[in-house]
Structure 1
Amino acid sequence: MNWVEQLQEQGFAQFRQYLPSDTANHLRKQILTAAHFKTWRLLTTPYRPLTHIKDRISSSNVEKCRQQQAIKAERNKQFAFSFYRTSNKHAKRHGAGDIHLNLAKTLKEQVAMPLGLSGEIRDSFVAKFEREQFISYHTDGSAGQYAFIYQLSKGWQPKYGGQLVLYPTKSRFYRKVIQPEFNCLTLLKLNHPMPHSVRMLNNPKHKHRLTISGWLE
């Protein structure tokens, strides 16, 4: 079964060693060395503004409280998430624009064309997950025809968490667990549908779960 057939029948497909090693390493380096203070913004849900603390991304107190809110909601079986993502508003300042453009070109040639798609990317962003961050069970709805998750994590161990968990039959009892693997692209067929989640991280600070994610039309 080739990857197109697998994607249509099972709702997901993977490409290991998706990009040339030099290209993948360069992307990872670009992300890790992005130092502009507006490179990353914390996304959490549920999010209740904290009126007693000035709410800005540089406030560690705000981030800590927001993360605690998300963890509490997850434990109460509510939809929740917590992770950092690049802010597209400031993409030119920290080089994210170049990262997305380079990946978009390969997606159009290697993925969109074989699937008969236009290759338009509705949105893409770089995500960085730190300790105790996660995304709970969800679907992407009508965000696009296919979701892509490109992994740039190196030396990852299962005990660090952060696995992408797929539910191809819509049952939470049947799971496909995908470990973070450097230079690996995962495609999800959204009308399959393909519920998924990201397990809570338990990683040391020097280990980074980095992804470039988005949706293809």
Structure 2
Amino acid sequence: MEFVRKNIETLRLRVKEAAEKSGRREEDIKIVAVTKTVMPETIQVAVDCGLKILGENRVQEAQRKIELVKGDVSWHMIGHLQKNKVKYAVRLFSMIQSVDSYELAVEIDKRAGKLGKVMDVLVQVNIGKEETKFGAEYEETPELIKKISELENIRVKGLMAIAPFKEDPEDVRPFFRKMRELFLELKNLRLKNVEMEILSMGMTHDFHVAIEEGANMIRIGSGIFGPRI
């Protein structure tokens, strides 16, 4: 598992470099280790190296891993969440990063209320308008967040986006910049139950550009655990 440790060392150096370029510190950028298809013992190595946020794409996969991975960690749901899985997700995760509709938010609100819990969420934006990706439409996001803000058992903590894949990460810079603009616009609205603190964007291929454009949370899978099998 030495490769995981080395990958994390390299990642931290690159995060530090990108953060400094944008006038911030390495500590200002939170790393979500994406654990899809990764075995619990491998995840444990990353946790032992100091990573504290783990991101899962599927509820069932998370259920098994949460029991086995030890340490002071929080689990985030980063994949598309179906309404019939919400009752499990609100128990398992400390944050759901993939809220993309009012209907899903209502279901989360209902299930969280039954647990006496306020669920932290990010609203996912389909910044590239890609048919193969989930997320709210960019132009409709402010209105969606205004509606969600009326729900009592949800707290919107920010935005999440997956930029279109481009061979040259510089080509996605405009998408990240638009997300930053939307983030600041929503922050200035000062809505009830909305705390625009997190801008989650950037993955292994393009995270350095995302950080330079304002991301304060990045989601890294293969850059930590190697290519998925």
Report which structure shows greater RCO (CA 8 Å, sep ≥6). 1
- Whose helix fraction is larger, Structure 1's or Structure 2's? 2
TM-score (normalised: structure 1): 0.28
Query: TM-score w.r.t. structure 2 length?
Result: 0.27
